[in-house]
Structure 1
């Protein structure tokens, strides 16, 4: 029978330590509540003390004011003092002490918090009153005897009265102050006992749990010894186990009014004995069939729940719930039925939630969810290890759906009661993990049923719809519960977003996520809910990453050229994402104040600029990919270059109010440099002989570049911003565009040579710049012109004279000579204006 002890002892240890841990947690919670109550009481007493002190200070000030007013109404105050002093020589020590005490009490009024009468203060009060009266009589007699030296007879009767009033006042405040000191001492002692009462916790609680555990172990050792001695057989042992448990319950019932904690411990230990007895009787003695043992354990669990309601103890309810979950494993065998197990778990969880709703015990759903999904995980593992009939997966999916709805009941618990931070967070975690557990477990079952299909996405959308129903109910039918309502909204958005990649491919995911992101951003501007803003930002980031990771034609099933231009999923997905980026930027721009003030994840600056930039970028990428897939290389390059210049021109004109030239001057200068470089790269690269379609696209690109440069330069000229820097830059960029256009003109007429054309075009550009510089009186532009003339002359001397053809030399030299002569004539004519 050593194997019995090997089984019994670990079970006893686990149950004992579980009870111990639960009770310790409960006790710590009670201690925290007591400390909060003590702190609140001390704070109330402190406020009362301050109010009492203020009241007494006001009374003392009023008394002092009355004395001062009386002294002011008596003109012979100074003439009385010498008489009183001379008359009181014999009684000088006594009177000096009394005078000092009276003056000190008048100058420093006592602080009074609580007026409490004690025997000592009551005895002290008459004595002080008698002393005050006696002193007043002595003063009156002395003042009376000196009436010959005093012109007025009213003053000797005034000072004793004032002194008597002050003395009475101080005599009344002194006992009260001592009583306040006496009243404060018990409060501090009481708080000290409540905060450091570990002795009571150990003696009442901890020793009780250890005692129960030791007692059960003692019973186990006694039973083992009796079995070894053949005193009792299997039936007697089982009856003895039930008898011990019943005896512990009887004792718990008998003492539950006087010893509340001990009775709960005894009740918990009694049910632990019942579980162990049934387990041993079934596994080792075969006294019960599996059905009978299971029924006994079910009734034991129900009875234990009733006892927890009787004693109003959460620990017993948790223990009963844990016992209910381990009961099937206690009587498990190799012929177990998974359908029966799922049915039992459903009934157990429903009963658990009924108890939780009745007693408002929020810990029960947390424990139930952990054990339930752990058991479901175990069934998944066993189904992989052992063959499972296919029809069972459909039934298990139905049970999984039932568990999903059961563990949504914590929503009602949160609405019903106001729980603390820990329990409330635990219930919200149950609601969240319930959805994800159902998605994973249900998705596994769906894949087993449909052999790897994508129906799991429908399951995710179903979960999102359920959470949406709860959100709408809380939104329109129930007031308050803002946190719970926002939580349900966040879960709705999360599961709807998760369902997209589970059901669709890459392009459909991108379209759905980007559209959802814009919709959530718009809802944020209407509802001002942070959840909308955060989820919109997350979905936008995921969409951007997905755009970068998508292949050029990942969605094509028939090769690169097997689909129509602009009518394919790849283009539609990228173009939709770009449009959504523009919409997001417009939404932020129209609600600029909302996104600029406060602390937001999506700040207007820089998110608005980033959204516009991403929109233009992915419009270009979408069009460039289409050109690459459907056109030849040279035409595709020309079309891509035209796309860039057109987007820059259209963006500049459409967003001229959003990005004003006077505010973004440097950015526009950089823009002109970039578009000039792109234009030159497009024209100067490629073959000398070009297709007509390529030439047409390049001439359109030239037109867009010229329009954009003219617009920006005209706006910058009006601003007069850094003319000494911007004018030379604009002159140089204009010259480069002029030369590139001349190159394109020669290519249009199928003339690949550009030696003569370069000299003529650069000389003409220098002449035009000189004319503009003279008209605008811009020395910077004239210096650029002179530099260009220098380049032309250098080329003529170093290159053209030696390598150019005769006809070319004639044309270039004559043209350049005429330009230089004209330029010299203009300088001489305008020298008074220019210099």
Structure 2
């Protein structure tokens, strides 16, 4: 009755709609008639004869013309599309027909499980009776489902999937928990259930049967894998279910089914591996089923679209990559835990490359799938081949795998114009970078520059260097708007490359001096702790600063010759400023300590003459760095030249002051520090003013006056308190003479100064 009433209401709605359309058409017809009559009156004012034709009439030659209306046929009015009757969403219908039955089946399965557990715990019925009752429950639900198939196919499919999950559950318990059937019989029954479930899913064309019936069966044995025998049963059971899913994958593109089984399988396997894996008991079993599961899902993810020759989307590519990396990651872990197999990590990596090479060759020869899939799998081959050698030397395989995977994906995405691959490569780039940082965190002292950690960084640089090259080679079109994340990665890649290149060498410098430090044990104190030569740590500081200045000089050279990038220039200038500040403070102080130690040697921490050599090598490196900055500035606007003059003048007086203090302290002449600085600053101010007058540089003259003012303040408020009479006399006389000379120069060359001010 309720269905008839719904039908009546729907027919009333359609009738009302047709009546409304009829009224609308009647109004349009009346308006068209009035318009036609109006046009006829305007075009035929004399003749009352009206000839209405809906086709263009051609004039007949050599006949008297009659004032006859000639009309152009009106364009046919396109019929208006019928407005769709918006059916009210019936949530009650959705819940009642689709949702409740699935929830009901799940509740039923849970209820059977709870009841079985209660019966087991309280020993109410015998094991054989429990199994028989379980089968009867499953078969009864199956029969009821088949009976309802003709009228209620969707509901029947849900019931059928529940019945198969229950019978999987009962069969597994009968063999694994109670031992009521031999292994061969359990295997045969499982095969029958799998074949039937696959057949039913395809026959019904209902994904829900496969999901609840096959995937739901994964939850049965989750907690029963506590020994080698049980593990074998567990994984054999899972293999049967996955084979059924693989068969369906050849016929249907049921992605939810594939993903659910994929996550369920690897979740169970990973949980077992991390919690119960014992290399002596489970190595062969684990490695065998690891390969079986990988092969099943590899085939399942590729099969349907290869057969149908459809293009692969982001989700398909992600599935293939995830399966490969899970297999490779767990496989490496198993091999690494084995005392013998740990020597064959590189061979295992090469095996991965061979597997992917075989698949890519098959795709190419049979012309299966699209080119993007072929490039992806071929890229996996190149990736695994590339990292096979360093893996054999070092276990830092994750970083390299991700770095070269990012290179592959970026090359495919940018060169073949597949944005999906390029976007995926950005994610992998971040993963590779953070993995490298973790490797650095676990860095171990070894032979400098000839160790796996440095090789790891170099290979990472190779991958990102190629990515940066591809970014410049395959630029985005000028007339297209570059997306934000693409623009961001255009800065991220070169930034990471420069940072990693610097950090890799800097760590080796630190490694070298750390080894020197650890090998410099000279004695032990009373508490038994070793005493080391701390000067090796000073050398580390100095050489890291020297390398940083050289590195920045090289970047300035590249900016000048090759790359014009505002962000890179600004970043380099900021880092240069910080490094220069550290050099003229910490660096010069450390060098002073080395020179002082050489001039005043001790048995505890001798520095040697090399400390003096390092100081002047550092000054030469500083000069190279300042020269590169000079080249950078003079190639820009003229005002930058003035800024460089000020920067260079301040730097020179700072270095001269430091040099004087270093040698005064080296010779233990501490009382003349203040006297020497005041005279040095005064003389330098005189030189700056002279140079400023000669070159017409007002900013240098002003800087000299400011420096002289600082010198006088220092003299009256600081020096005069700590100097004796002779030194006071020397300082005052010297500065007085300098002031007079400066005044003389201003008076003698005032015409030059005035001309300079007018410019």
Q: Could you say if the C-alpha distance between residues 541 and 403 of structure 1 is closer, same or farther in structure 2, counting changes exceeding 3 Å?
A: closer
Q: What corresponds to 2:40 in structure 1?
A: 67
Q: CA deviation at 1:736?
A: 2.0
Whole-angstrom distance in 1 between the partners of 2:177 and 2:587 = 90
- 8 Å Cα contact 1:773-1:782 kept in structure 2: yes
Post-superposition Cα deviations, 1:686-735, rounded to whole Å, max 9, x if no partner, equal 15363432222222332343454466458757834288877555433332
Q: What corresponds to 1:20 in structure 2?
A: none
Residue 705 (structure 1) aligned to one of 622, 629, 649: 622
Matched, 1:526 2:526: no
- 8 Å Cα contact 1:571-1:623 kept in structure 2: no
Matched, 1:785 2:704: yes
> Any residues of structure 2 matched to 1:598-747 within 5 Å, and which?
598-601=483-486, 602-605=488-491, 608=494, 611-612=497-498, 615-616=501-502, 618-627=504-513, 629-630=515-516, 632-633=535-536, 635-657=539-561, 658=563, 671=576, 675=580, 678-679=583-584, 681-684=586-589, 685-686=592-593, 688=596, 690=598, 691-709=608-626, 712=629, 716=633, 719-721=637-639, 728=646, 730-743=648-661
- 8 Å Cα contact 1:470-1:488 kept in structure 2: yes
Whole-angstrom distance in 2 between the partners of 1:640 and 1:273 = 68
Greater shift in the superposed pair: 260-269 or 411-420: 260-269
Q: What corresponds to 1:223 in structure 2?
A: none
Structure 2, unaligned runs of 5 or more: 1-13, 51-65, 112-127, 518-534, 599-607, 755-759
Residue 304 (structure 2) aligned to one of 413, 436, 454: 413
Residue 690 (structure 2) aligned to one of 766, 771, 783: 771
Q: CA deviation at 1:408?
A: 2.2
> Any residues of structure 2 matched to 1:540-551 within 5 Å, and which?
540-543=432-435, 545-546=437-438, 548-551=440-443
Post-superposition Cα deviations, 1:740-776, rounded to whole Å, max 9, x if no partner, equal 3445676899977545543443333122111112123
- 8 Å Cα contact 2:646-2:703 kept in structure 1: yes
Greater shift in the superposed pair: 441-450 or 348-357: 441-450
Q: What corresponds to 1:84 in structure 2?
A: none
Post-superposition Cα deviations, 1:42-69, rounded to whole Å, max 9, x if no partner, equal xxx9xx99x9999979975884466335
Q: Determine helix, strand or coil for the equivalent of 2:619.
A: helix
Whole-angstrom distance in 2 between the partners of 1:247 and 1:781 = 98
Matched, 1:402 2:295: no
Whole-angstrom distance in 2 between the partners of 1:466 and 1:613 = 35
Whole-angstrom distance in 1 between the partners of 2:220 and 2:587 = 79
Q: Tell me the TM-score normalized by structure 1.
A: 0.56
- 8 Å Cα contact 2:197-2:210 kept in structure 1: yes
Q: CA deviation at 1:640?
A: 4.0
Post-superposition Cα deviations, 1:1-24, rounded to whole Å, max 9, x if no partner, equal xxxxxxxxxxxxxxxxxxxxxxxx
Q: CA deviation at 1:413?
A: 2.0
Q: CA deviation at 1:397?
A: 3.1
Q: What corresponds to 2:122 in structure 1?
A: none
Q: CA deviation at 1:412?
A: 0.6
Residue 357 (structure 1) aligned to one of 250, 253, 258: 250
Residue 482 (structure 2) aligned to one of 590, 597, 600: 597
Whole-angstrom distance in 2 between the partners of 1:640 and 1:506 = 28
Whole-angstrom distance in 1 between the partners of 2:142 and 2:500 = 74
Q: Could you say if the C-alpha distance between residues 581 and 770 of structure 1 is closer, same or farther in structure 2, counting changes exceeding 3 Å?
A: farther
Whole-angstrom distance in 2 between the partners of 1:372 and 1:715 = 60
Q: CA deviation at 1:245?
A: 6.5
- 8 Å Cα contact 1:298-1:324 kept in structure 2: no
Q: CA deviation at 1:610?
A: 6.0
Whole-angstrom distance in 2 between the partners of 1:674 and 1:251 = 77
- 8 Å Cα contact 2:403-2:460 kept in structure 1: yes
Q: CA deviation at 1:682?
A: 3.5
Whole-angstrom distance in 2 between the partners of 1:205 and 1:635 = 73
Q: What corresponds to 1:101 in structure 2?
A: none
- 8 Å Cα contact 2:158-2:208 kept in structure 1: no
Q: Determine helix, strand or coil for the equivalent of 2:484.
A: coil
Q: Could you say if the C-alpha distance between residues 500 and 73 of structure 1 is closer, same or farther in structure 2, counting changes exceeding 3 Å?
A: farther
Post-superposition Cα deviations, 1:573-602, rounded to whole Å, max 9, x if no partner, equal 567767877776666566665799333354
Q: What corresponds to 1:538 in structure 2?
A: 430
Whole-angstrom distance in 2 between the partners of 1:580 and 1:209 = 50
Whole-angstrom distance in 2 between the partners of 1:382 and 1:801 = 75
Whole-angstrom distance in 2 between the partners of 1:272 and 1:617 = 56
Aligned length: 649
Whole-angstrom distance in 2 between the partners of 1:315 and 1:668 = 62
- 8 Å Cα contact 1:304-1:317 kept in structure 2: yes
Whole-angstrom distance in 1 between the partners of 2:431 and 2:178 = 62
- 8 Å Cα contact 1:500-1:509 kept in structure 2: no
Whole-angstrom distance in 1 between the partners of 2:323 and 2:379 = 14
Q: Determine helix, strand or coil for the equivalent of 2:696.
A: coil
Whole-angstrom distance in 2 between the partners of 1:819 and 1:787 = 14
CA RMSD of superposed structures (Å):
6.7
Q: Determine helix, strand or coil for the equivalent of 2:560.
A: coil
Whole-angstrom distance in 1 between the partners of 2:353 and 2:572 = 45
Q: Could you say if the C-alpha distance between residues 550 and 515 of structure 1 is closer, same or farther in structure 2, counting changes exceeding 3 Å?
A: farther
> Any residues of structure 2 matched to 1:45-64 within 5 Å, and which?
63-64=36-37
Larger radius of gyration: 1
Structure 1, unaligned runs of 5 or more: 1-40, 78-153, 163-168, 218-233, 557-562
Post-superposition Cα deviations, 1:66-124, rounded to whole Å, max 9, x if no partner, equal 633564233899xxxxxxxxxxxxxxxxxxxxxxxxxxxxxxxxxxxxxxxxxxxxxxx
Q: What corresponds to 1:135 in structure 2?
A: none
Greater shift in the superposed pair: 540-549 or 366-375: 366-375
Whole-angstrom distance in 2 between the partners of 1:570 and 1:761 = 49
Q: Could you say if the C-alpha distance between residues 205 and 645 of structure 1 is closer, same or farther in structure 2, counting changes exceeding 3 Å?
A: closer
Whole-angstrom distance in 2 between the partners of 1:249 and 1:291 = 26
Q: Determine helix, strand or coil for the equivalent of 1:73.
A: coil
Q: Determine helix, strand or coil for the equivalent of 2:639.
A: coil
Whole-angstrom distance in 2 between the partners of 1:781 and 1:354 = 84
